[in-house]
Each structure stands twice: as C-alpha cells, then as structure tokens.
Homo-oligomer: A and B are copies of this chain.
Amino acid sequence: MQVDRQADPQMREYAGVTRTLAAFIAQTQWADVPEDVRHEAKRALVNYFAVALAGAHDPTIEKAVGVYGRFSANEHASLVGRRECTDMLNAAALNAMSANVFDFDDTHVPTIIHPGAPVAAPLFALAQTAPLSGEQLLLAFVLGVEAACRIGNAVSPEHYQRGWHITSTCGVFGAAAAVARAMGLAARESAWALGNASAQTGGLVETLGTMSKSIGVGNAARGGLLAALLAREGFAGPDAPLEGERGFLRCAASRPDVNAITEGLGREWALRANTYKPYPCGVVLNPVIDACLALHRETRCALDAIEAVELRGHPLLRERTDRPDVRSGREAQVSAQHAVAIALARGRAGLAEFSDAAVADPEIRALGKRLRFSDEASGSVESAEVTLVLRTGERVTKRIEAARGSLAAPLDDAALEAKLRELAAYGGAGVAAEPLLAQLWTLDAATDAAVVMRLAQAPQAQ
C-alpha cells in the first residue's frame, strides 16, 4: 500500500533524517569532537581489544575461523589474539565475534547496544588494507558509534524487547557509517552506505547464549563494511532507508522516535553513555557481584557458615537472573545463584569464575541453592543489597547504590588497563599488553592505525 508522503505530517517532518545523518558522517572533523569524547573513544578501544583478546580462542570462534577461513580471498587483515590472517570482510566479522562472544564488551546504557565490536572491527580491518591514520580511525569510530546508538535510541526499548538483537541490527549501520567516513565518502555515498546497511539488518535475542549469536554480530561488522565498499562504487540505496514508510525505523518499532537520530547531533555524543563491564555477566548482576566481593573481603566467612543469602534488587534482576540450575559457563553469566556463590567463595569474578569448570563445582552449586530473592520495586537496576544469614543467626548486609562499571561509577582508565592485561593473559595468545596499551592511548598521533593490529596479533610460532 502506498502512503502519500506529503499528506502525512509526521512523514513530512521527518523527511531527510537519513540525509542529515549522512551529511554529519561525511562532514564532521576531528576538531569538532570534544576532548572527553575523544578520550572515551580510546577507552572504548582499550576495552574492545581486551575482550577480543579474551574471546579469540573460544570454541565458537575456533569453529567460525575454521568455516569462514575456507572463504578467505587473501591475507590482508589479521585476527586479534590469533596467528591467522584473512581478507578484510572475514576479519571484520571474526574480530567482532571475538570481542562480543563473552558479552564482556561495552554497553551503551540507553539502548543496551554493544557498539565497540561491530564498529571497531571493520575499521581496523580497513586500516590494514588502505592508508588510515589513527586520528582518522578514531573519528570514524566516534561517528560509527554515534550512528548505531542514535538509530538504537529511535527504536528503543520496543525493538530489543520484541526480540531483535540490537547490537547486530543497529551495529550494521554503525559499521557502515564508520567505514564510509574512514574511506572519505561524500554525503550522498554515505547515505547509500546506510541504505546498503538497511538491507542487512538482522539478529535475534533468541540466539543469545548460543553460538548463533556470534553470526549476527559478525554480520553487522562485515555487512557494514560491505555496504560502504559497495556505496563507494556507486551501488545506490533508497532515499530514506531509516525514516521511509517501509524503512528500518518502522520495521523495528511501532512508534519510533525518529527525531532521536538528529536531535543534538554534534552536541550530544553517544560515547558519553558508553560503559565497560567489570565482570563477564549480564549488567544487572554488577551490583550483586560488587556486594558479594565486598562481603568476601570484609567477612572472610567460611561457606558452610552461611545458612542463606538474601538478595534484594529491582524486579528485573530476579526476572533476568533467577537461574538456579545452570549447566555451562555461558548460562552462568546470567545466573544470580552462580554469581553470588562464586563471588562469595572466591573473592573474584573474572572469566575463570564463569567457566564450565566453575559451574561444575559442587560447593558453588550448594551455596547457590541457598539464595533467596526479594523485589525492591523502587530500586534502580544499578543498586542491590546482599545479606548473609549466618548459621549463628547473625546477619551481615552490604548495599551497593551504584555498581562498578555503571555511568555513575565508571571503570577508570587504570581499571580498563587492568582489564586488558588480565584478558590478554586469559586469552593465552602471548600478546604483550603494555605496547598495545601504549599504542591505543596515543592512537590519535599514529600515522598508520594498522600498527595496533600488528601489536594485537598472536606472535608467530618460532
């Protein structure tokens, strides 16, 4: 059915959203990006390489490298934390998958988009095949994150709630925007890149916790890169892939907030709402783990001295994480029972604590069974309260108002550095953390952004 565009006042008002965004992508300069946003871009990249190094040898990635590797045209681009090289489309996909496989990557709070993986991966792959300075890459990254998150804002929260994996569905636009900028495309071609991305938006929440999820995240990175490469050759898209009558926004949500895409463009920046996880878990568990780690430090009580653990938090916490009987590390990432028990028992909450081995520990399983939830409807998702009920009858309570890693209590630069060091070691690829960190913090001064990828590659066997 055709809708008369002129007769619909809403349509008229929104006409040109894609064009406005495309012009912003094509014309914004590094000098236009405020200092705090520039620094946040570097922080996001430190986090990106940390999580990509951790994920590089996960079984999902091993299998993907095996299959995707059979369809590699050349060896122009490297894989983070691995020895293989591959073509840039495959590198974009596989590196994005590695960075997201543990759900330990960054989170744009208003949308729950993990923007780092789909936007950074294609940019670094491009940098290995064409001259791209550190400053150019950082600018393109800032703009790609901006595009992905603004489009996400326009369709949130319905889009994710309905079941679309927003990191993938909006990530492909971010990747296309970033690569378009990095290649210096004009506004018209940048709009085509968004149009070519719109034909590739997909990914389902139902796949989370399974290997399939990674395909969607990899496709966002690969598809965005392909979208921009095609646009550069004159492969033309629709005028209004976002705001059109049958465009992405109306497919994605019943009542999209179309203005969210252009309002405050160049003044408000999505990276300011980007956060980094301290623990490899669903974000709602962050305050719970903070509380349990504090209780571990402060009480040092033996596990069999604990009769029960009471957990008070936002109803969403119970709804998302009341999973008493998990069987794998992947499932444990969204289990309050496991998170509480392991943090109390070990005083740590890293990847090793959310492994299959950790889940199999009978002491952890026994303690998890002694967890009781209670809802605190007035609370925020960033707060939680944990009470140890001891066999002596004593009660010890720890309340966290703003979880570590939230916007109110962000990880500082030192904590992000520590995360990269720990995850580089966890990944076991033999990548030296210090030179990589030094390069990332000074990336704006690098004449060739590809140097980062050489530092992030696993050393070749001697």
A207 touches B235 (CB 8 A): no
A170-214 contacts to B (CB < 8 Å): 192, 195-196, 198-213
Judge whether A267 is part of the interface by a CB distance below 8 angstroms: no
A379-412 contacts to B (CB < 8 Å): none
- Please report the C-alpha to C-alpha distance between residue A320 and residue B202 in the assembled complex, in whole angstroms: 27
A67 touches B226 (CB 8 A): yes
Q: Which residues of B contact A208 (CB under 8 A)?
A: 246
Judge whether A324 is part of the interface by a CB distance below 8 angstroms: no
Measured as residues with beta carbon below 8 angstroms from the partner, the interface class of chain A is 35 or more
Q: Which residues of B contact A66 (CB under 8 A)?
A: 233
- Please report the C-alpha to C-alpha distance between residue A210 and residue B246 in the assembled complex, in whole angstroms: 13
- Please report the C-alpha to C-alpha distance between residue A223 and residue B168 in the assembled complex, in whole angstroms: 15
- Please report the C-alpha to C-alpha distance between residue A73 and residue B70 in the assembled complex, in whole angstroms: 7
When all copies of this chain in the complex are counted, the total is 2
A241 touches B207 (CB 8 A): yes
Q: Which residues of B contact A67 (CB under 8 A)?
A: 226, 229-230, 233, 235
A212 touches B198 (CB 8 A): yes
Which of B1, B64, B201 has a CB less than 8 Å from the CB of A202?
A: B201
A137-193 contacts to B (CB < 8 Å): 161-165, 168-169, 192
Binding site for B on A (CB under 8 A): 1-2, 60, 63-64, 66-67, 70-73, 87, 89, 161-165, 168-169, 192, 195-196, 198-213, 215-216, 219, 223, 226-227, 229-230, 233-238, 240-241, 244-248, 250-251, 316, 319-320
- The 7 A-B residue pairs whose C-beta atoms are closest, nearest first, are A202-B202, A163-B246, A205-B246, A199-B216, A212-B237, A206-B246, A163-B251
